[in-house]
Structure 1
Amino acid sequence: MEEINIEDLLIRYYDGEATADEVQEIEAWIEVSDENRQRAAEVYTLLLAVDTKNTIDAMDMEKELSTVKMKMKTAGHPVAWWKWMQRAAAVMFIPMAITILLLLNQSGPASSVYVQMLEVETQPGVVTSFRLPDSTLVYLNSASTLRYPSIFTGDTREVSLSGEAYFDVTKDPDHRFIVSTSQNSKVEVLGTRFNLEVFDDMEDVVTTLVEGKVEFKYHKAGSEQKMTMKPGQKTVYNKKSGEIQVKTTSGESELSWKDMKVIFDRTFLKDALHMLEKRYNVEFIVKTAKYDKYTFTGTFTDQYVDEILENFKISSRIRWRNVEKEDRNQGKRLIEIY
């Protein structure tokens, strides 16, 4: 293939705009030689850097921050201050919201192929989306990290996740897509759409399948177990006990975060507060069990966490208050449910 044609095809391939014939053509070209593999990896890394720079350049940071500071000065009370901080979060975090780390080059002793390990990390309160080298679309939730190679080699496409992500996996029958975690579990697919939540400070690993088929592998009593999920199912795996629950869901509530929404669908208070913690970078302290059986239904888009909690208060008489923290430098706002 001609020089210019290759560059154009690689860009279209990584942007997810290539036709089926073009995908087949470029993947065959990549397999021809180690030099081609290396060149494809370099183009992919360059595209990531350009996308991040364009996002930052498109923003007038000084103007945005100046507006936020002025509003905060005139607000005058804690609730209003937090409202402006929440509104400003998307602006303030953009330059450091998507941290792309190029880790050590790795290559086998018998190969001259250099595969760069990439790591995308989001700051609290920020959601981002991007494509993997195989055109798989990923939405990465707040305070999450995804690690993956600049180009997939071998028989599998493997990535590792800490946090929460939604995957729209590009179909490839010859190369299974694997998401590994540090929680004694992993998900294997060929082509599907699913959501995986696996935060380090959580006991549960939650997988929600939207479309396709997923094989969820986990450990129980020292041995590896596996189960095949169907669309509309959600598995909740407890990494301490090894027990797993399978529930039926529309997925609307579990996936609402990727559209910067909060959707409750007969959601228990514990789960509702967990969703709010992720969305607004706050921390809840629950001082009573009297609300445990309460469920909530509703959709929230541009509302602040205070407004959502006020809805809880009106509908269910749930009481809440802000807690003053000893260390004011700590990032998360503390809210008590009593």
Structure 2
Amino acid sequence: MNLVVKRIASLIIKQWRGELTVEESIELEQWAGENQRNRDLLQQLTHDETLRQELINYYEAENAKEAVWRKIDRATTETTPVIPFPVQHTKRYRYLAAAVTTAAVLTTVAYFWLQNKPGPATKQVAQTATNDVLPGGNKAILKLSDGKTIVLDNAQNGLLAEQGAVQIEKQEGELSYSSPTPATTVSYNTLATPAGGQFQVKLPDGTRVWLNASSSITYPTAFIGNERRVTITGEGYFEVAHHAEKPFIVNVNNKEEVTVLGTHFNINAYDDESSIRTTLLQGSVKVGSRQWAEGRGQKTKLEQSVVLKPGEQAIAIANPLTTHHSPLTIDHSPNLEQVIAWKNGEFLFESADISTLMRQVARWYDIEVVYPEGKPTDKFSGKIGRNVNLSQLLKILEYSEVRFELKGRTLIVRN
């Protein structure tokens, strides 16, 4: 059964009974504010006469309970996936949908009402957390060439510093570089985001870079010469300004180089991931992988390069000799929406395991995740905004067999 449907239905029932908490009222209003269909549906369901007639219809139906569940299944399997929900690996995967249909919510409300119980959604899931964690935001530290550091989340908008002829400014979560006169000297800056942080930078050539949490980019304050070269760790999304005479080169963890003229691409190169993934959305890039791999008592240098087409992803395995894979492979049909979901302010998963999910959660909420009973085997599919508090995310996940307990900034995951 669709868990978002159950959640919304239970909140509506609590609203009729006058039992909504402030947090639940906000949750219901946020759901209603997502689109016009949700607003219309909430308006319809809060009119007793409309509901009364629907309940009579369901109550008088033969085998009402079974009919309700069939209607719920039918309605919820046709909706759009937007919120992740883990299911046991022995069951078929299901997607949760915030844009639920009128029939789905009405049938669920009817079932809960006729059974005279509030349903699973009234369980005080939030009690598993002894505190709460806010989502990440625009946080970063800028390190100038002279060693001076500027905490950008505390800095005022406007001019931050000058390095030679180059002016460095901050405007609402973006750093930008400009020079009224051509720069003749080059210095290097580093922009770094902490866990729970993200930031944007407009480089001197007009290239825009979005940095995800726990990432960094080192770049010159002016691109002088016949190439534009930067270094990145963690994850970044690039929109490279086109300059045919100056290729743009990204050094990734000193293991990979991405060479472009002008294009849009994403690089995921976190140390705790098993591979470096470069995904091309627009244009053309050449990905070159170079790394030393150890296995069978020997150390071997592996080098390879591929040219990606839009919609392709290059994957560099961390240790090809021990995983028996090529050092660089191509996925010709990656989920592009999933790749750049972080840039669009979302978590998006497609049959992801708990480790994959929690690595992203840990970076964004700046928490530690532990598994005292081993890692659950659940798979997660769907999406949810990255602007919710951790407790709100856990509320949704708590409807599975997985259980969570938050102590300080440590999230305990149990089967």
TM-score, scaled to structure 2? 0.52
Match of 2:87 in 1: none
Question: For the Cα contact (< 8 Å) 1:183–1:239, is it kept in 2?
Answer: no
Q: Deviations over 1:72-94 (max 9, x none)?
A: xxxx98837324xx15x64xx85
Identify the structure with bigger relative contact order (alpha carbons < 8 Å, sequence gap 6+). 2
Question: For the Cα contact (< 8 Å) 2:289–2:327, is it kept in 1?
Answer: no
Match of 2:144 in 1: 101
Deviation at 1:253, TM superposition (A): 1.7
Match of 1:82 in 2: 132
Q: Deviations over 1:28-65 (max 9, x none)?
A: xxxxxxxxxxxxxxxxxxxxxxxxxxxxxxxxxxxxxx
Deviation at 1:278, TM superposition (A): 2.1
1:215 and 2:286 are equivalent in the alignment:
yes
Gaps of 5+ in 1: 1-75, 106-111, 325-331
Matched to 2:143, the amino acid is I
Question: For the Cα contact (< 8 Å) 2:129–2:407, is it kept in 1?
Answer: no
In structure 2, the CA distance between the partners of 1:265 and 1:203, relative to structure 1 (3 Å rule), is closer
Question: For the Cα contact (< 8 Å) 2:219–2:229, is it kept in 1?
Answer: yes
Matched to 2:346, the amino acid is K
Deviation at 1:217, TM superposition (A): 0.8
Deviation at 1:120, TM superposition (A): 0.9
Match of 2:337 in 1: 252
1:228 and 2:301 are equivalent in the alignment:
no
Cα distance in structure 2, aligned partners of 1:80 and 1:260: 26
Question: For the Cα contact (< 8 Å) 2:287–2:307, is it kept in 1?
Answer: yes
1:333 and 2:383 are equivalent in the alignment:
no
Matched to 2:317, the amino acid is N
SS of residue matched to 1:82: coil
Cα distance in structure 1, aligned partners of 2:213 and 2:127: 27
Cα distance in structure 2, aligned partners of 1:101 and 1:164: 21
SS of residue matched to 1:133: coil
Matched to 2:144, the amino acid is L
Match of 2:319 in 1: 240
Match of 1:308 in 2: 393
Matched to 2:187, the amino acid is Q
Deviation at 1:287, TM superposition (A): 4.8
The 5 Å alignment of 1:160-199 reads: 160-199=231-270
TM-score, scaled to structure 1? 0.63
Deviation at 1:152, TM superposition (A): 0.9
SS of residue matched to 1:275: helix
Match of 1:53 in 2: none
Question: For the Cα contact (< 8 Å) 2:348–2:381, is it kept in 1?
Answer: no
Deviation at 1:118, TM superposition (A): 1.1
Match of 1:35 in 2: none
Matched to 1:319, the amino acid is R
Q: Deviations over 1:193-240 (max 9, x none)?
A: 011122234442121211111211112641421011222222332222
SS of residue matched to 2:358: helix
Cα distance in structure 1, aligned partners of 2:220 and 2:345: 28
Match of 2:405 in 1: 321
SS of residue matched to 1:148: strand
Aligned residues: 243
Question: For the Cα contact (< 8 Å) 1:268–1:296, is it kept in 2?
Answer: no
Cα distance in structure 1, aligned partners of 2:411 and 2:218: 30
Cα distance in structure 2, aligned partners of 1:210 and 1:190: 14
In structure 2, the CA distance between the partners of 1:264 and 1:223, relative to structure 1 (3 Å rule), is closer
Cα distance in structure 2, aligned partners of 1:293 and 1:243: 29
Cα distance in structure 2, aligned partners of 1:288 and 1:189: 46
Match of 1:295 in 2: 380
In structure 2, the CA distance between the partners of 1:337 and 1:214, relative to structure 1 (3 Å rule), is farther
Question: For the Cα contact (< 8 Å) 1:158–1:179, is it kept in 2?
Answer: yes
Match of 2:203 in 1: 132
SS of residue matched to 1:127: strand
Match of 1:264 in 2: 349
Match of 1:286 in 2: 371
Question: For the Cα contact (< 8 Å) 2:130–2:407, is it kept in 1?
Answer: no
Match of 1:16 in 2: none
Gaps of 5+ in 2: 1-125, 148-162, 164-182, 292-299, 321-325
Give the CA RMSD over aligned residues.
Answer: 3.0
Cα distance in structure 2, aligned partners of 1:136 and 1:229: 20
1:147 and 2:218 are equivalent in the alignment:
yes
Q: Deviations over 1:248-271 (max 9, x none)?
A: 223212212223321223433332
In structure 2, the CA distance between the partners of 1:127 and 1:319, relative to structure 1 (3 Å rule), is same
- Percent identity between the aligned chains? 24
Cα distance in structure 1, aligned partners of 2:254 and 2:362: 21
Q: Deviations over 1:275-313 (max 9, x none)?
A: 212221222223566744613212324322333233233
